[in-house]
Structure 1
């Protein structure tokens, strides 16, 4: 049931359910596999402020989310209307801090039931949420989503999934759906359960396939789902130089690789999203290490794809990100980039043609050599 936010406990030191009071004898410990690396898992996000709009509270999935929050002793407020309280601060940094600690449970608006294509990733995109608890200093949501960076999870999930059925093309063998354009669904799964329900729904759709991507690693709730091979789980991977400096609040590389292995062992199709690729100093050596570690992780037959995405930014996203992360080591020098126009007349800054060709050649050659079973879906 709802409780005042002032009563929210501090959860970071709470032991997990079933934590052993006595240590387990080594003689009783289960055997370990040859895959040893565990890495540093991402800490489960515990938002300081959680709000339900009135309409979201009436949804069945909204109540499921509330039950999860109750089980985690996370307090929340139910609003009397469909407006959220003012979330801004007196400075950009204050607004950012407050928003990044806020989860809003709302209903997806009618406009989101008119799905749009998203080539080359999928035939259609739909949304389980918008916003993300991570702190990636190149965040592509900056400038793409209006207002403060609050994470908004959708309570009308059942209607969202029913609406997807209308977009399955009966004239195609397979229609693909992307669920992570504006969020990392695994980063909030412990709070919402939306990703598991979505995977199960797609498991009953033989002519549709779900695609989602994450920088988190807690895949345990997904391993026993009836996915029936209809979901491709993709893990966002990068060199340690990028992961350690620019991807705050996420799992480290070893933990992500471990999650990918576990998903593959559970029969999922998997994918490696190498993004954002950056030609930093000694980048070939660092990315070679990444690909070597990925190859060692996937030492059994898997259904694997690659997506190769270079770093880019717009003038608007640059301004926002430098406000959020004034001490970033990310290179935003426009003089070192090429300007790329889109059909709407706006532009973004990408790497010059020579660097793009070098990056593309390096990764396509290495993947063809080391992962002959895999398909590179695109380079951009």
Structure 2
């Protein structure tokens, strides 16, 4: 049984300490960039000031060591102009905007594998005022929550965690807190959304969010924990979920990636029951659930097998169904019968343990 959800987290959350921090000249032109440098130095991290705006990874003939070096690097940069042209991000939200790109975690199913070019370092964007100020022109123009009758009450939604985990780097950037304050003060029908596998929510609890930010915790069944290196333990994430809900935030569960692990029915039932225990007694609970099954592309499989050669993550094409995306690329998903079986089982457990939750989608 989950412990008393009203208690604080059992131990302070572990914070990422990059081994290398670099900053470009363009980033130093922005006050937020200089503030991020000050944050890093206050944590005792040496900051390397680059002579140009070009990022280069530390070279190493061993691809595993090169990967590890990149994953241990924080680069403070200015977001390029293309980042200000927002893209729709169905089925999650109307629009995607980026506070950063890259993630310090080591998930062996990483969705960013094959999606981002260059070494997998984390790039935090210094031109935050420009990024947030650019959002106004997109209000009311989305095609997901702005138009779907069942979600129109969410307003125009902006997803901030498509290419990063903003909470995992918040102690170094402060960007997530700034975005929450921005949305809280924004006199418009809007909502900020982000997903996290981390638990250091203390800086967010007292912010004036005005219920315009929905934080979703990415969780999975216990047997899948071995695929989520460098993240907060599941118990800590569920404790953080309860703390954010009690601070008045709309919250959510992103159950992903759903896998047919050993005894998967019981494992996902236990996960959902534990989430219900963490949220027990929350007043005015506003809870959503997003259900995302595991899938992979030939490109992402090749990258992941290079990054995590010892992983037993099931990625055998013969056990999957081959599908084409809307862009014409290939992806591998679970067979239809297994998908139907897993969806029915999870929806039943959610209805039993979290009857007030809205399931936004299954994919």
Relative to the length of structure 2, the TM-score reads: 0.92
CA distance in 1, matches of 2:337, 2:302: 26
- Per the alignment, residue 16 of structure 1 pairs with none
Q: Is the 8 A contact 2:259 2:294 kept in 1?
A: yes
Query: CA distance change for structure 1 residues 149 and 125 in 2, over 3 Å: closer, same or farther?
Result: same
After TM superposition, which residue ranges in structure 1, 4 or more long, deviate above 6 angstroms? none
Aligned counterpart, 1:264? 245
Aligned match of 1:126: 97
Out of 314-323 and 80-89, give the one that drifted further. 80-89
Instruction: Pick from 194, 204, 214 the counterpart of residue 222 of structure 1.
Output: 204
CA gap 1:278/1:228 in 2 versus in 1, 3 angstroms: same
Distance in 1 separating the partners of 2:10 and 2:114 = 32
Of 151, 158, 172, the match for 1:177: 158
1:327 corresponds to 2:310: yes
Aligned-partner Cα distance in 2 for 1:307–1:313: 18
Deviation at 1:55, TM superposition (A): 0.3
Q: Please state whether the residue corresponding to 2:88 is helix, strand or coil.
A: strand
- Give the Cα–Cα distance (whole angstroms) in 1 for the partners of residues 8 and 35 of structure 2: 35
Shift of 1:343: 2.5
Residue 186 in 1 paired to residue 167 in 2?
A: yes
- Determine if the alignment matches structure 1 residue 298 to structure 2 residue 279: yes
**Cα separation, 2, equivalents of 1:45 and 1:176:** 28
1:159 aligned to 2:141?
no
Structure 1 residue 270: deviation in Å?
A: 0.1
What's the offset of the Cα at 1:344? 2.2
The 3-state SS of whatever aligns with 1:306 is strand
Which consecutive residues of structure 1, in runs of 5 or more, have no partner in the other structure?
Answer: 1-31
RMSD: 1.7
Residue of structure 2 equivalent to 1:5: none
1:43/1:249 contact within 8 Å kept: no
Match for residue 150 of structure 2? none
1:59 to 26, 30, 35: 30
Displacement of 1:71 in angstroms is 1.4
Deviation of the 1:170 alpha carbon: 7.9
- Of residues 280-289 and 155-164 in structure 1, the stretch that sits farther from structure 2 once superposed is 280-289
For this pair of structures, how many residues does the alignment match? 348
Residue 15 of structure 1 corresponds to which residue in structure 2? none
For residue 79 of structure 1, the aligned residue among 42, 46, 50 is 50
Larger Rg: 1
Contact 1:52 1:79 in 2 (8 A): yes
Q: 1:286 is matched with which residue? A: 267
Matching residue of 2:213 = 231
Q: Is the 8 A contact 1:87 1:148 kept in 2?
A: no
CA contact 2:57–2:119 (8 Å) conserved in 1: no
How many Å separate the matches in 2 of 1:85 and 1:335?
Answer: 38
Change (3 A) 1:94 1:369: same
Structure 1 stretch displaced more, 75-84 or 266-275: 75-84
Equivalents in 1 of 2:7, 2:268: separation in Å?
21
Distance 2:210 2:35 in 1: 24
By how many angstroms is 1:81 displaced? 1.5
Residue 211 (str. 1) matches residue 193 (str. 2): yes
1:367 to 341, 350, 353: 350
CA distance in 2, matches of 1:204, 1:294: 30
Q: 1:76 to 1:241 in 2, by over 3 A?
A: same
Q: Tell me, in whole angstroms, the C-alpha distance in 1 between the residues paired with 2:8 and 2:273.
A: 14
Over residues 64-91 of structure 1, what are the superposed CA-to-partner deviations in whole Å (9 max), with x where a residue is unaligned? 1011112111111111211123434212
1:379 corresponds to 2:362: yes
Does the aligned pair in 2 maintain the 1:233–1:268 contact within 8 Å?
yes
User: Structure 2 regions of 5+ residues with no counterpart?
Assistant: 147-152
1:310 aligned residue (281, 293, 297): 293
Match among 58, 65, 77 for residue 94 of structure 1: 65
